[in-house]
């Protein structure tokens, strides 16, 4: 006897629950991307005014698809000793220094990866699996972020943030 092709109501509910849970867990990552990834990438792009940096960026743009994938290991390898130093500082009781070092490494790594992705995305799109899945991921992410931006907590936090920024600017001008 063939199995019923329709999904049971319990399974449908479970899938919906898992999707909601996944969305809740990934929203902080997406918010960091919006507030960190893009501004840090723009900051790194400013370095392209330096001749040596511009040549490095051009070399990255010219990478083959799999060379572009391999390029993502460079920041990991470069920052690994710094992260180990942070853990060593933590183990020796220097929690503040460790936290600052690890935070700086995280920001630097994110800035480098963000810019690197901007430079090699065209090459990555030549990899069939990436070309198939990245647009789907981006569409899902954009839909999720639209829902987050339309939520009441988001709108309230944005209004508060805008008010704080206006107050800060007024305070600075008054000085």
Is 18 inside any structural domain?
no
Q: What is the DSSP string of 57-97?
A: HHHHHT--HHHHHHHTHHHHHHHHHHHHHHHHHHHTT-HHH
Is 6 inside any structural domain?
no
Q: Which one-letter DSSP state was computed for residue 48?
A: G
Query: Are 125 and 99 in contact, with CB atoms under 8 Å apart?
Result: no
Is 13 inside any structural domain?
no
Per residue in 125-141, pLDDT (tens digit) is: 999 999 999 999 999 88
My answer on whether 100 and 173 are in the same domain is no
My answer on whether 109 and 141 are in the same domain is no
My answer on whether 38 and 55 are in the same domain is yes
Burial class, 56, CB count within 10 angstroms (exposed 0-12 / middle 13-18 / buried 19+): middle
Q: How far, CA to CA in Å, does 172 sit from each of 118, 162, 167?
A: 35, 15, 9
Per residue in 117-173, pLDDT (tens digit) is: 999 999 999 999 999 999 999 998 888 888 888 888 888 888 998 999 999 999 889
Q: Nearest Cα to 107, choosing from 34, 33, 36?
A: 36
With b meaning 16 or more CB within 10 Å and e meaning fewer, what string describes 140-156? eeeeebeeeeeeeeeee
Q: How many domains does the chain have?
A: 2
Is 143 inside any structural domain?
yes
Determine the average pLDDT of the residues in 81-109: 93
Is 107 inside any structural domain?
yes
My answer on whether 99 and 137 are in the same domain is no
Is 169 inside any structural domain?
yes
pTM, to two decimals: 0.70
- How much of the chain exceeds pLDDT 70, in percent? 97
My answer on whether 164 and 117 are in the same domain is no
Domain, as residue range, for 98: 26-125
My answer on whether 139 and 120 are in the same domain is no
């Amino acid at each position: 006897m063939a199995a019923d092709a329709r999904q049971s109501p319990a399974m449908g509910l479970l899938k919906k629950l898992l999707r909601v849970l996944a969305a809740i867990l990934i929203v902080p990552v997406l918010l960091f991307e919006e507030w960190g990834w893009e501004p840090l990438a723009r900051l790194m792009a400013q370095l392209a005014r330096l001749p040596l940096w511009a040549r490095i960026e051009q070399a990255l743009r010219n990478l083959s698809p799999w060379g572009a994938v391999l390029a993502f290991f460079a920041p990991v390898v470069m920052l690994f000793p710094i992260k180990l130093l942070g853990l060593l500082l933590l183990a020796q009781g220097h929690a503040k220094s460790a936290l600052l070092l690890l935070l700086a490494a995280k920001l630097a790594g994110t800035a480098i990866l963000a810019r690197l992705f901007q430079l090699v995305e065209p090459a990555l799109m030549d990899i069939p699996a990436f070309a198939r899945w990245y647009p789907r991921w981006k569409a899902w992410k954009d839909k999720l972020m639209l829902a987050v931006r339309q939520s009441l907590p988001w709108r309230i936090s944005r209004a508060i943030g805008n008010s704080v920024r206006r107050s800060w600017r007024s305070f600075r001008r008054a000085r």
